[in-house]
Structure 1
Amino acid sequence: MKVLVVTNMYAARNPALPAQGVFVTEQVDALHALHGDPIDVFVIESWRGRLAYLKSLFSVTCLIRRHAYDVVHYHFGLSACSAPWVRLFSRAKVVITFHGSDVMGRGWMRRLSLAAARFAHACIGVSEPITDVVSGVSKRCSTIPCAVNEALFVPPKDRVESAPGPKIVVFPSSPDRPEKDYPLFREVVERLSASFGFDVEERHIDGLDRIGVRDLLARADCLVMTSRREGSPQAVKEAMAVNLPVIAVDVGDVRRLLDGVSHCAVIEGRDAAVLARATAQVLNDAQRSDGRRRLESLGYFSKAVAMQVDRVYRTALAGTGERRSKPHARTCVPTSPQPEHNPNRTRDETH
């Protein structure tokens, strides 16, 4: 099977945000490992300006006319602006993965993304709310969140449960991203000190490579998510993979992710006092969660998710098309050869 992936985010391509799109990169790696066929990748350098999308029309058209691709898989709705040309000039099946901000907001981005969905043989939403939106224009839509690298994100072997010193509480993004609501997180941290007497060391998942993220989550005491919107947040899933307790507002699919997971909580509303109280309970317990068990049961590890994406490809090629399916795994420059695997790639925890 010959596959072309077209994406506006790919690890280590955007100099300003080297973590951007690491989940796409890892999905490409997992698909390659699954069936061994090479996967070509075309990165739309959207950080250089919107003109990059127009340029991609010509570049992608040239690629599909030069190579007999079986599948063209777009990541992010705007990346699929060339989907009509793929349908016109090739026999390739069009698959589009929607990541959240492309269809969950309002305005021109949502309209263009949903217009592109009409040209897809199959669509994928990385969370159920995204799939709900896309299903309004495409009945062949599956929910398949981006996966967690289970070989990299493993629980610590020798962690002392009640280590002396400050409690490490992780903010799962950059404070500069307004949708992550850092002010609410900061208020929670301040209450942990003022109301509950904890000495807290605040850490951010920002500017770290993959090993750095893994090591931070492995030695932290809790992750607190205060985002205003999410799809299927990678930071929460990666915390679960290393059995780090998570306290989160009810956003994206975190309630489903954390259902039944020990030493974790999903909080209704955005009250800092309630969030601080739940976080204080976790810090007092000083126990790891069993989040990794939950991830495995959901089928969220790389190989399982790759198998679900591959199933979407093969169903599209067979011409049957899935109608609003919910597989057990709920899923993720100019042309260049498949990049060599690098475990130190940076990450982007958000969709």
Structure 2
Amino acid sequence: MPSQLPAVRKKILIASTNADLAGAPIHVLTLVTALQTSFDFFVVLGEDGPVRQALLAKGVPSTVLPTLRSNINPIRDFRCLMAFLRIVRSERPDLLHAHSSKAGMIARMAGYLQRLPCLYTVHGWGFGEGRTALQSTLVYWVERAFSHIAGTAYLFVSNADQQVGIERLKIRPDRCLTVHNGMPDHGCRAKVESSTTVIMAARASHQKDHDLLLKSFEECRMPFRLVLVGEGTDSPEFHARVLAGAPTKHAQVDCLGLSDQVPQLLAQAGIFVLCSRYEGLPLSIIEAMCAGLPIIATDVGGVRELVEDGVNGFLVPAGNQPALSNCLDRLQSDTVLRVRMGQASRERYLSSFGDKQMAMAVAQRYRAMLGTV
């Protein structure tokens, strides 16, 4: 019998708007790292940054296309599309996989023009909170128009985002699949029974609503230390917000700025908080669950797919300071509850939110679209 030729590895071209240490770029890095032995990858990013450098260190080729980061602009977007098409024709991928709104728009057009299958991972819709009414309306109608492009399938990091896509954008359910975010085990475990420190890992932005946390901290009855880590949390402007939000307790607030030691900081804490105004499926909560921390979070986006209220933490309404203060005081005063919820977080992470679960589900979607199942 003639010997069989070895199977040709399929090539995936990934496009991501950013390359910083935010949710979508970290998702890309985690995915490529987990599937590097099964597929060939080429990554197009809108900027250089730590994620691109990490990919290069792993031997994953990439290039920077700066116009992939700009706001919607017909002339600039046409130039971006032409440049992206040149990359696609040069790299000759079998499938395109886009992350975030701008990259998703360009990759879907390129896939249609090149007759290539395109997978678009939605990390939260770009027409929600955090934009002006004009921006939201424009992005909504662009997404509505693009939802009809043939050859595109959708991945969602949360069921909440999938529901929005089906109900508001009328995307056919058979083109949709939710694959929750996943992260590798960082190996750091919190000593929840002995620590009362509360930590929030989030950049300083309107979305993350640090002012709510500071006011809640000021009103808490139980004493504890508050650690704030993330880009911008060490700036003079942010320190002024701390003084305004917690005038009598500001000395108990540590503002650490951007850090590559977040897992180690989580291990020193007893409670994790995220009080965002809006979210997709935040990696910061998954990282805290990995450490075995109880979670207090606002009930927005896909957060309730991570936090089961009363089981591995508490959900509170966005903007509700009394509810957040009450939950903080309750966990601070009940060590047994804190430990039980922390253990539930760790178990939930292991069962559903590791990098391998996510990568296997995405790989299965790749193979289905490539016809190699």
TM-score, reference length from structure 1: 0.77
Query: What's the offset of the Cα at 1:209?
Result: 4.0
Counterparts of 1:64-213 in structure 2, within 5 Å, are 64-82=88-106, 83-90=108-115, 92-104=116-128, 106-119=136-149, 120-135=151-166, 136-139=170-173, 140-150=175-185, 152-156=186-190, 159=191, 161-163=193-195, 167-175=196-204, 177-192=205-220, 196-206=221-231, 207-210=257-260, 212-213=261-262
Aligned to 1:254: 303
Is the alpha carbon distance of 1:54 and 1:8 closer, same or farther for their aligned partners in structure 2, counting shifts above 3 Å? farther
Is the alpha carbon distance of 1:187 and 1:302 closer, same or farther for their aligned partners in structure 2, counting shifts above 3 Å? same
Contact 2:229 / 2:259 at 8 angstroms: preserved in 1?
no
Query: What's the offset of the Cα at 1:24?
Result: 2.0
Q: Percent identity?
A: 24
Query: What's the offset of the Cα at 1:253?
Result: 2.1
* Structure 1: stretches of 5+ with no match in the other structure: 13-17, 321-351
Q: 1:77-126 deviations in whole A, cap 9, x for unaligned?
A: 32133322322224x21100111142535321232234333324310111
The SS at the match of 1:303 is helix
Aligned to 2:132: none
2:333 counterpart letter in structure 1: N
Q: 1:49-98 deviations in whole A, cap 9, x for unaligned?
A: 446644431222112222331110010132133322322224x2110011
The SS at the match of 2:198 is strand
Higher mean displacement: 182-191 or 196-205: 196-205
Contact 1:94 / 1:122 at 8 angstroms: preserved in 2?
yes
Mapped pair 1:31 → 2:31: no
CA distance in 2, matches of 1:103, 1:29: 30
Aligned to 2:81: 57
Larger Rg: 2
Is the alpha carbon distance of 1:182 and 1:134 closer, same or farther for their aligned partners in structure 2, counting shifts above 3 Å? same
More helix per residue: 2
The SS at the match of 2:197 is strand
CA distance in 2, matches of 1:88, 1:117: 15
Aligned to 2:362: 309
Q: Which has the higher contact order (CA 8 A, sep 6+)?
A: 1
CA distance in 2, matches of 1:87, 1:104: 26
Aligned to 1:220: 269
Q: 1:262-290 deviations in whole A, cap 9, x for unaligned?
A: 45111245421221111112122344402
1:172 counterpart letter in structure 2: A
Contact 1:123 / 1:141 at 8 angstroms: preserved in 2?
yes
CA distance in 2, matches of 1:103, 1:138: 19
Contact 1:27 / 1:146 at 8 angstroms: preserved in 2?
no
Contact 2:202 / 2:228 at 8 angstroms: preserved in 1?
no
Aligned to 1:230: 279
Q: C-alpha root-mean-square deviation of aligned residues, in Å?
A: 2.6
CA distance in 2, matches of 1:124, 1:228: 23
Contact 2:229 / 2:258 at 8 angstroms: preserved in 1?
no
CA distance in 1, matches of 2:111, 2:368: 18
CA distance in 2, matches of 1:143, 1:168: 34
Contact 2:222 / 2:333 at 8 angstroms: preserved in 1?
no
CA distance in 2, matches of 1:112, 1:53: 13
Counterparts of 1:233-312 in structure 2, within 5 Å, are 233-259=282-308, 262=311, 264-268=313-317, 270-286=319-335, 287-288=338-339, 289-290=342-343, 291-298=345-352, 300-312=353-365
CA distance in 1, matches of 2:310, 2:44: 38
Contact 1:104 / 1:130 at 8 angstroms: preserved in 2?
no
Contact 1:125 / 1:134 at 8 angstroms: preserved in 2?
no
CA distance in 2, matches of 1:70, 1:48: 24
The SS at the match of 1:293 is helix
The SS at the match of 1:145 is coil
2:327 counterpart letter in structure 1: A
CA distance in 2, matches of 1:209, 1:202: 12
Contact 2:24 / 2:99 at 8 angstroms: preserved in 1?
no
CA distance in 1, matches of 2:92, 2:103: 20
CA distance in 2, matches of 1:81, 1:246: 35
Aligned to 1:324: none
